[in-house]
Amino acid sequence: MSIRVGIDVGGTFTDFVLLDRRRGRLAKEKYPTTPQDPAVGVLTGLELLLQRQGLSLQEVTQVVHGTTLVANALIERKGARVGLLATAGFRDALEIRREVRFDMYDLGIEFPEPLVPRHLRREVQERLNPYGEVLQALDLEQVREQVLALQAEGVISLAVVLLHSYVNPTHEQRIKAFLHQHFPHLYVSISSEIAPTMGEYERTSTTVANAYVQPLVEQYLRHLQEGLQARGFQGDFFLMSSAGGTMTAETAAQYPVLLLESGPVAGALMSQYLGRLAGVPNLLAFDMGGTTAKGCVIRGGALRKAYSIEVARAYRYKKGSGLPLLIPAVELIEIGAGGGSIASVDALRRLRVGPESAGADPGPACYGRGGTRPTVTDANVLLGYINPEFFLGGEMPLDVEAARQAVQRGVAAPLGIGVTEAALGIHEVANEHMAQAFRLHAAEAGVDIRGHDLVAFGGAGPVHALGVARRLAVRRILVPWGAGVFSAFGLLISPLGFDVAQTALTPLGELSADALEARFAALEGRVLDMLRRARLAPHEVTLARAADLRYQGQGYTVEVPADGLDATDPVRELERRFVQAYTRLYGVAPRDAPLEGVHWKVTGSGPAEPLDLRLAREEAPVAGAPALKGYRDVYLPEAGGFRPCPLYDRARLAPGETVVGPAVVEERESSLVLFTGDVARVDAHFTLVVTPRAS
């Protein structure tokens, strides 16, 4: 029987979740993250967890790991010295970008420094045309000279990006093979493996980012695996990819850029899983922590995938000021900077929340670590939504007076309003921003979110859940047990899986059934090969095909599933599916316009492991013990003031019990705030299912 551990390394804490199928137990643990070498915190915390469970590492059959290492390295610029080898004439793609300003009025904007400075960007003579035909042959001798020069400059990791390599990768592959033979210690990332997609700027950006973090990730994973082995671990070790699949350490070390959203995506997966348990196919996942807030739209039980994301915004967090990365990822929405978002008043006397964040250090004013600017958390403390004596289960008392002063100085005084009104304003504006981000994203996805359920988790999620939910007119709010380590659970339920995609502009009118089949079969071969290396047998694998199509002449595509196509005329059926999807999104579809395929994609995944949240029962005390802890003054907008509200201990609420708002339900890492008329019921999975008061 298996014993599996999920480990989620975050900015401040490393979360652990253990599923012991043998004894039917589900346990959680939190341990401070050790930023210098996160492996230390992981190994120490893991030993602590196992010790408390009376287990040894030898007994653990599988560890699944999520980490923010890659995102942090890119944001904090802590990667390796990287060189770039590009087609002659195109080494500057990284710096020329798309040439557009992300803010038309601000004459002071800045773009991120390229990850490779210009003197480390070298050229090689070779050239393909857009059909992949060789116009100029590759000169490997020149490659050798350039790489020797880069090594002399201290380059240890190299990105290779040649024009049109997404159509024909042979030149890049030959360079890679040559370098492995002649420069065995050099890390090499080639663009046709990392991001085989048209567009030299974004492809270069992605390949370079991979090269930049590769040495760091490889070393970290080596330390961690050595540490695990030294402690007797003999099981499988996997990492979570941004796409929500798991990958082997070997793959992760080769394509580390795929780990970018490794941590946050687990929360989205877990929300999807919770929805499945509850029989709810349409969900919004709402994850609000101390430093970030993320959202995700789950539609028909499926997560939306993105193939391009932006990381490390360099100028006032503005969209367009970061590094574009072409990686498959679960589409997560940046919906705010979490509890640490700073509130201020702008020149138009408008209350603003974020994008600046107080982060973990100094953190909100109420943390008492020197923060003086008002944050969302400060507002929540003043409104009575967060219990200053029971933050992190009482381990971290909060300074209410500091919160009051910060809100007074930063918002109330400039607006000429009272502190409570200011705090309420901050709370409401934060809710509105997050609701807006959801709405905008939903519009982009062509999804009407009314009637969805909202899963709220992360430290601050349950505090804002009802406010956000009401603005979105959702049906119910689900607050899972262990909301604070919810993402770590997600690591345990993800099946092993890989995505591959290929860009090939193909007019559907010119595509034969055989060619279509051959194209998907080739992609499936790659996926199966990756899964085989991860020790999965072909019969355990589920494959899914999809194509991104558009009308010829358009620039944006619509994804269409390509499984189970009609055998006699699969291309015609693909067209039919596209027109349906397009009409659903945009209302009308042009008549008789020819279609073309742009991206061809295959996803492969192994069997999913079920996770029974009811196993949590040993951690949750039995019903009957008094769940009502006392009363506290909480600001109720519907009453226009503070009212004493009952306070419940979440750990003492048993399945079937009901809490009627106004009330606060506290657990160690978070509190759920219910307003007048909201009703929460504990379901069999210990999830608090909240029905908001009818508006």
Of 620-649, binders to another protein (CB under 8 A) are 637, 640
Q: How far is the CB of 186 from another protein (least distance, A)?
A: 23
The residue from 54, 564, 587, 624 that contacts another protein (CB under 8 A) is 587
Distance CA 274, CA 263 (A): 18
Is residue 306 involved in binding another protein (CB under 8 A)?
A: no
Whether the CB-CB separation of 264 and 434 falls below 8 Å is answered with no
The residue from 37, 428, 573, 619 that contacts another protein (CB under 8 A) is 428
The residue from 22, 101, 222, 535 that contacts another protein (CB under 8 A) is 101
Joined together, the tokens standing for residue 251 give 């793959």
The residue from 105, 537, 539, 622 that contacts another protein (CB under 8 A) is 105
Is residue 539 involved in binding another protein (CB under 8 A)?
A: no
* Residue nearer to another protein on the CB measure, 77 or 101: 101
Single-letter residue type at 424: L
Q: 533: which residues sit within 8 A by CB, 6+ positions away?
A: 248, 250, 251
The residue from 119, 182, 222, 535 that contacts another protein (CB under 8 A) is 119
Question: Under rule CB under 8 A, which residues in 309-348 are in contact with another protein?
Answer: 346-348
* Residue nearer to another protein on the CB measure, 274 or 508: 508
The residue from 118, 180, 533, 572 that contacts another protein (CB under 8 A) is 118
The residue from 140, 198, 543, 660 that contacts another protein (CB under 8 A) is 198
Is residue 468 involved in binding another protein (CB under 8 A)?
A: no
Binding window for another protein (CB under 8 A); candidates: 36-44, 101-109, 458-466, 523-531: 101-109
Alpha carbon separation from 448 to 126, 437, 443, 469 (Å, rounded): 49, 14, 7, 14
Question: Which helix or strand (DSSP H or E) is residue 628 part of?
Answer: strand 628-636
Is residue 444 involved in binding another protein (CB under 8 A)?
A: yes
* Residue nearer to another protein on the CB measure, 181 or 695: 695
Question: Under rule CB under 8 A, which residues in 566-585 are in contact with another protein?
Answer: 585
* Residue nearer to another protein on the CB measure, 350 or 572: 350
Joined together, the tokens standing for residue 60 give 């653990």
Binding mask 470-509 for another protein (x = CB under 8 A): -----------------------------------x----
* Residue nearer to another protein on the CB measure, 239 or 312: 312
Is residue 694 involved in binding another protein (CB under 8 A)?
A: no
Q: Residue 537: is it exposed, middle or buried by C-beta count within 10 angstroms (0-12/13-18/19+)?
A: exposed
Quote the Cα angle for 114-117-120, to 5°.
Answer: 135
Alpha carbon separation from 387 to 16, 381, 666 (Å, rounded): 25, 7, 9
Is residue 77 involved in binding another protein (CB under 8 A)?
A: no
The residue from 36, 556, 568, 694 that contacts another protein (CB under 8 A) is 556
One-character DSSP codes across 581-622: HHHHHHS---SS--EEEEEEEEEEE-PPPP--GGGGGGTSPP
Binding window for another protein (CB under 8 A); candidates: 239-247, 423-431, 646-654, 670-678: 423-431
Question: Under rule CB under 8 A, which residues in 156-185 are in contact with another protein?
Answer: 163-164, 166
- Residue ranges of the alpha helices (H) in 107-237? 140-152, 170-182, 191-194, 200-230
Q: How far is the CB of 495 from another protein (least distance, A)?
A: 32
Question: Which helix or strand (DSSP H or E) is residue 507 part of?
Answer: strand 497-507
The residue from 16, 90, 498, 635 that contacts another protein (CB under 8 A) is 90
Q: How far is the CB of 120 from another protein (least distance, A)?
A: 10
DSSP state of 406: H
Distance CA 614, CA 25 (A): 9
Buried b or exposed e, range 189-203, using 16+ CB within 10 angstroms: bbbbbbbbbbbbbbb
Is residue 199 involved in binding another protein (CB under 8 A)?
A: yes
Distance CA 517, CA 170 (A): 23
Whether the CB-CB separation of 488 and 17 falls below 8 Å is answered with yes
Question: Under rule CB under 8 A, which residues in 381-420 are in contact with another protein?
Answer: 415, 417
Q: Is the dihedral of CA 407, 411, 413, 416 positive or negative?
A: negative
The residue from 16, 201, 212, 481 that contacts another protein (CB under 8 A) is 201
